[in-house]
Amino acid sequence: MFGFKRNNLADSSVNNDMLSKQRRYDSLVRALHADLFRYAYWLCGDKHIAEDITQETFLRAWRSLESLKDDKAAKAWLITILRRENARRFERKQFDYSDVEQSELADNVSLSTEDNMEQYLVRRQIARLEIEYREPLILQVIGGFSGEEIADILQLNRNTVMTRLFRARNQLKELLDQEHTRGRSNG
């Protein structure tokens, strides 16, 4: 009878664990799914693939949620998982979209609202950036990570990261200026 009672207690504490894990997961999804999806999108350039990667990432996160000790590090942790998932995509199978030129990806960016011509141009130019320049820029602008944190996530040294950030902005600025002068001379 005591055994039974103890069993019950153990059961309920397991349930409590489950419940708090569930809550933790729910809040992670709520707070970070948009950033993660966007990051995935800018990594692979396709909304559907980005959605798949995001799903895989969160499922993996759920399975190993215990290993995330500090909730403040959740974003960097999830991004690390996501980058691994993205890399796995190329290991698994040589999908045809892996051959697609980065510059062509820009055409996938839909021109949804009319006032977004400017945004459309910027998106196209971001998609044209080399992935090694694009990634630190996204981490800095969307992720809000510092140079050190980006270096940590990408496993580069900080100087390399800063150089890449410099080049990323430099290239973007040049490309956009070109675009504008071209637009102006066309108009």
Partner 1 sequence: MDELKFRREAYENPNNHDDDFLSAMRSSDERQAFVKDLKRLDSQIESALKVDVPEGLEAKLLLNQQLHQHQVQRRKTGFTMALVASVAFVAGISFTLLRLGPVDLGQHALAHVYHEDMALISHDDVSFNTINTQLASLGTLANARFTEQPGQVLYSTYCDFQGVKSIHLVMQGAQGKVTLFIVPVEDRMILDEAFADNRYQGMGFAADNAYMLLVGEHHDDLNNIKEEIKQSFI
- Interaction site with partner 1 (CB under 8 A): 25-26, 29-30, 33-34, 37-38, 41-42, 47, 51, 54-55, 58-59, 62, 109, 112, 118-119, 122-123, 126, 137-138, 140-142, 147, 162, 165-166, 169-170, 172-173, 176
The minimum distance between CB 140 and partner 1, in angstroms, equals 7
The minimum distance between CB 156 and partner 1, in angstroms, equals 14
Kindly tell me which of 88 and 94 has the beta carbon lying closer to partner 1: 88
The minimum distance between CB 94 and partner 1, in angstroms, equals 26
Kindly tell me which of 86 and 140 has the beta carbon lying closer to partner 1: 140
Kindly tell me which of 94 and 170 has the beta carbon lying closer to partner 1: 170
Kindly tell me which of 10 and 94 has the beta carbon lying closer to partner 1: 10
The minimum distance between CB 151 and partner 1, in angstroms, equals 12
The DSSP code sequence of the chain is: -HHHHHHHHHHHHHHHHHHHHHHHHHHHHHHHHHHHHHHHHHHHS-HHHHHHHHHHHHHHHHHTGGG---GGGHHHHHHHHHHHHHHHHHHH---GGGGS-HHHHGGGS---SGGGHHHHHHHHHHHHS-HHHHHHHHHHHTS---HHHHHHHHT--HHHHHHHHHHHHHHHHHHHHHHHHHHHHH-
